[in-house]
């Protein structure tokens, strides 16, 4: 008879505080070596110049990356005005300069930042990991090529000016999935009638997960795993009985209370599957987590 004892063993997410320097993929490779397990992914790529919260998905939790990726993200950024780089950050080459208006003050900058609140379209930068015909955009950029990118809808939920000194704006922003803070920084600079690039970027949160609860790479361990059940705590949860588990593992549709479009099914607090409601009122398997 099936039991839940083997489900989700050594599976879950790890909260890691990435340092400046390595790519997100290099961090994943380092953790893979430390934990001696091959199934590790990450949520929300951080550029090499950026630091902060990186969520790592381990073993069965690699199946839930998309549901964590959809969570809003919070950053603190430093935007240097007057200089534009080809990458939008301090790692790039200067491609243009422009005088910074001498009338900028806290009130003017704050008003401009608040004008970015809400939904808007944003064109992804060339220096990004988005792919075109299977090739990352940054590779085209390094070859001196620029390809057409479709604008994407993003949302700025909150943005706050923290300081302004020596033509450097420090701001925090809570944004939707797919938002490029480098591009946002450039857009802010243009709205201030100048140019700009990021000189630092730190991710403070993904959803309710905070960088203050994260560990450095050298302290990563299985003991720090957060269960899949807790990782998906933002989703509605339905406890299934043991008699239903076999049908759920076979992907059969089920009748559930209407508690949400996507529902996490659990048994004895262990994640079993994600089910989605369809037009006929039944819930259908979207992803097994065993």
Sheet bearing 262-267, strands edge to edge: 237-239, 262-267, 270-277, 283-288
Tell me phi and psi for residue 229, to 5 degrees.
-55, -45
Query: What confidence tens digit (pLDDT) does each residue in 222-244 have?
Result: 999 999 999 999 999 999 988 88
Helix intervals (H) in the chain: 24-35, 65-69, 106-114, 137-142, 181-191, 228-231, 242-249
Residues 171-185: b if buried by 16+ CB within 10 A, e if exposed: bbbbbbbebbbbbbb
Intrachain domains 12-71+208-230 and 73-206 with the same fold: yes
- Report residue 8's pLDDT band, with 50, 70 and 90 as the boundaries: very low
Please list the residues that pair with 211 across neighbouring strands.
Answer: none
Q: Are 82 and 97 in contact (CB under 8 A)?
A: yes
Residues in the chain: 290
Kindly report the CATH number that applies to the domain delimited by 73-206. Answer: 3.30.2350.10
Rounded to whole angstroms, the Cα distance separating 146 from 137 reads 8
CB-neighbour burial class of residue 15 (10 A; exposed 0-12, middle 13-18, buried 19+): buried
Q: What is the mean pLDDT of residues 144-172?
A: 92
Homologous superfamily of 235-288 in CATH? Answer: PUA domain (2.30.130.10)
Residue 38: pLDDT band with limits 50, 70, 90: confident
Q: What is the pLDDT of residue 5?
A: 44
Of 262, 268, 267, 269, which Cα lies nearest the Cα of 285? Answer: 262
- Cα separation of 200 and 163, whole Å? 14
Superfamily of domain covering 12-71+208-230: Pseudouridine synthase (3.30.2350.10)
185-224 pLDDT tens trace:
999 999 999 999 999 999 999 999 999 999 999 999 999 9
236-276 per-position pLDDT tens digit: 999 998 888 888 989 999 999 989 999 999 998 889 999 99
Question: Can you give the three-state secondary structure of 75-89, one letter per residue?
Answer: EEEEEEECEEECCCE
Alpha carbon separation from 164 to 93, 108, 175 (Å, rounded): 24, 11, 21
Domain extent listing, the chain: 12-71+208-230, 73-206, 235-288
Cross-strand pairs, 173: 75, 159
Percent with pLDDT over 70 in the chain: 95
pLDDT in the model for residue 2:
40
Residues identified as active-site: 47
Of 155 and 268, the structure prediction assigns the larger pLDDT to 155
Looking at per-residue pLDDT, the higher value among 40 and 138 belongs to 40
Mean pLDDT of all residues belonging to the chain? 91
pLDDT band at 44 (very low <50, low <70, confident <90, very high): confident
What contacts 181, CB < 8 A, 6 or more positions away? Answer: 75, 77, 173, 175, 198, 201
């Amino acid at each position: 008879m099936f039991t839940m004892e083997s489900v989700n063993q050594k599976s879950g997410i790890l909260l890691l505080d990435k340092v400046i320097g390595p790519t997100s993929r290099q961090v994943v490779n380092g953790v893979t070596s430390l934990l001696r397990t091959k199934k590790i992914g990450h949520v929300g790529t951080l550029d090499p110049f950026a630091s902060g919260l990186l969520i790592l998905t381990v073993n069965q939790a690699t199946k839930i990356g998309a549901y964590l990726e959809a969570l809003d993200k919070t950053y603190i950024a430093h935007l240097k005005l007057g200089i534009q780089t080809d990458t939008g950050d301090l790692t790039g080459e200067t491609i243009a300069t422009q005088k910074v208006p001498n009338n900028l003050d806290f009130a003017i900058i704050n008003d401009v930042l608040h004008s970015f609140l809400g939904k808007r379209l944003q064109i992804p930068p060339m220096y990004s990991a988005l792919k075109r015909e299977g090739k990352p955009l940054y590779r085209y950029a390094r070859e001196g090529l620029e390809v057409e990118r479709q604008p994407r809808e993003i949302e700025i939920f909150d943005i706050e000016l923290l300081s302004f000194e020596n033509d450097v704006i420090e701001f925090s922003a809570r944004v939707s999935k797919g938002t490029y803070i480098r591009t946002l920084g450039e857009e802010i600079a243009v709205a201030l009638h100048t140019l700009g690039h990021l000189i630092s970027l730190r991710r403070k949160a993904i959803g309710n997960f905070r960088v203050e609860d994260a560990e450095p790479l050298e302290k990563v361990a299985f003991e720090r795993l957060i269960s899949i059940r807790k990782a998906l705590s933002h989703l509605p949860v339905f406890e299934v009985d043991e008699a239903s588990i076999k049908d759920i593992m076979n992907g059969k549709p089920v009748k559930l209370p209407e508690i949400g479009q996507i529902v996490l099914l659990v048994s004895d607090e262990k994640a079993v599957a994600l089910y989605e409601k369809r037009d006929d009122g039944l819930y259908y398997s979207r992803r097994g987590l065993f």
